[in-house]
Chains A and B, each alone.
Chain A
């Protein structure tokens, strides 16, 4: 049983090795931080084809969002172009037009910031709730654990999409951040559960034991010993939660149960589907353009999540920065347990 061993007052001996900080200037520390947290991960990430491709894809979406925010492309409006223009025919309208003469590229670009914001909100919400719930219930154990586990069991017993639909009717969310939160309203439960089981095993690790014996506060143990260990898993799952948010939102927009103002990818898909896109090959691009937008974003996210594993894998990291050669290949995606 883990109990509060932190009766220490703040002016107790500090076990952090801060002796070296006296010799290090602010500049050195920044340089080291840059080296360890930005440069090395970037090298590792870039060395992997999958991550490289994923980063490029995601950058394209960010660029599209930037184009929209800066107003560099026309806004979608009916009859702004000839009807059902095929893509790549007229470079004025690169992706073609819809039946009512709306520029499809404008439609896609127009909702990119909205989608990205929603996806970010969904991912951040799902993972942060899961981290809090998982670490607390895993580390504390006892009654706290029982209560939290029962609550998340309850949320896991409710199927996501139907719940989201009913909440969407009750709250009619049009703000992307609120929508992102609603879409992942019970996503955290499963993730929290698996974080909990990881924390359970970390809790027994000898270095945590050591920290406890030294009288380090629970707060600090969680922050410094437990969280860094589950971070890789969390980052991978952040990306997967983001993917789930896109899938759920587009699916629900597509079947027309989420409220919306203006068009977005899902609504475009819905319009294409319901207004004749299914029946003629001439309208196929109308259906395909939003599909490519959705799949592209999800693909970029998944590639990054696959590569992320390597960034966090210390063995791969030392090898790639040339500090060690004796590391075996292929230890990737062992904890990418994406399964939805």
Chain B
């Protein structure tokens, strides 16, 4: 079957599997899914016989129905983008998540692209100047950067730049009172708030990217086709981009799938530290408030985002590596 078609078909299947998994997880949580809500409703003075009906109205799951019925209801709800109502924030889960999702995507995409570009550039220079002073210093610092988790950078930035020097805000995605619009003021505010999280998240990954690129680059530079290209008298710039860079970056692309997953998951800690209102931030506040519908909604949306991100990465992989679209994909 065609590579692109196969990848596309796999998306709904993966999402279905993840939704099923989420459904199972809800039942694994202590006290069952809706104990909290039930207690809350009874405390509000809702008569005991109406509690089930209210839960059904709020969460679109019938607590007294058989499991398969609940499962079907859940899947239908997910398909209609109805993830129930958040208990703690008292709003539909999907509305909260729709507001949070863009911020998370913004953080992850910007920082991952920055990390990739900076890391590849540093690694490429290192590979070209292998053994030089720059190479030694850069390798040393890359190894050290790998030892520091991104949230440590986040905490240190927050301490020095936000709390001590007051250069950056300590929370939120935009200044309060600035309306979402296309104005320069809004954009500056967004950048100002996102700068520290993005920088922290970027630095956290540059070290390993550079080391990877250096290793690949050195290997490719030793290949015969590079030698042949030099003998053919091709310009250095062409060799560097078409021959060396392309072949050195290619193996890193397969790691991208895992990388996106780790980084998307990592936003949980990052957003919590910066009080940045993305998916991860709401996941943690839902955890702290025992707000299961919001929690599972966050989990589901983060996972679906990952599935789609990996899909897009896969499609671009086909653009870079012609072997992929020609079939025989799972060779790596």
Contact = CB atoms under 8 A, between A and B. Distances in A.
A19 to B, nearest CB: 41
Contact of A294 (B149, B295, B303): B149
B258 A156 contact: yes
B130 interface: yes
A166 B299 contact: yes
Contact of B261 (A160, A254, A295, A337): A160
B268 A190 contact: no
Given A160-B261, A334-B215, A336-B215, A278 B158 contact: yes
B269 A254 contact: yes
Interface in A288-340: 291, 294-296, 298-299, 301-303, 306, 330, 333-334, 336-340
Contact of B146 (A50, A149, A330, A338): A338
B268 A165 contact: yes
A38 interface: no
B149 A340 contact: no
Contacts of A163: 265, 299
A298 B205 CA distance: 14
A305 to B, nearest CB: 9
Nearest to B144: A299
Interface in B198-227: 205, 208-209, 211-212, 214-215, 218-219
A181 interface: no
A285 to B, nearest CB: 12
B258 A170 contact: no
B298 interface: yes
B269 to A, nearest CB: 4
A166 B269 contact: no
Which of A149, A154, A299, A339 has the most chain B CB within a 10 Å cutoff?
A339
A334 B219 contact: yes
B252 interface: yes
Contact of A149 (B152, B215, B302, B330): B330
A251 interface: yes
B152 A165 contact: no
Interface in B241-268: 251-252, 255, 257-259, 261-262, 264-266, 268
A85 interface: no
Contact of B258 (A284, A295, A339): A339
B98 interface: no
A115 B280 CA distance: 25
Contacts of A157: 14, 17-18, 261, 303, 306-307, 310
Contacts of B209: 339
B211 A336 contact: yes
Interface in B271-296: 272-273, 280, 283-284, 287-288, 295-296
B147 interface: yes
A273 B258 contact: no
A170 B330 CA distance: 35
A88 interface: no
B101 interface: no
B106 interface: no
B163 A162 contact: no
Contacts of A15: none
Given A291-B155, A333-B215, A170 B29 contact: yes
Given A251-B151, A298-B147, A330-B130, A161 B159 contact: no
A278 B257 CA distance: 36
A306 B208 CA distance: 12
Interface in B148-165: 148-149, 151-152, 155-156, 158-159, 163-164
B258 A340 contact: yes
B233 interface: no
Interface of B: 14, 17-18, 21, 25, 28-30, 130-131, 143-144, 146-149, 151-152, 155-156, 158-159, 163-164, 205, 208-209, 211-212, 214-215, 218-219, 251-252, 255, 257-259, 261-262, 264-266, 268-269, 272-273, 280, 283-284, 287-288, 295-296, 298-299, 302-303, 306-307, 310, 330-332
Q: Top 6 A-B pairs ranked by shortest CB distance? A: A159-B265, A299-B147, A161-B265, A298-B147, A190-B258, A247-B149
Given A165-B268, A295-B147, 9 more contacts: A153-B14, A156-B257, A158-B306, A162-B265, A243-B147, A277-B159, A281-B164, A291-B155, A338-B146
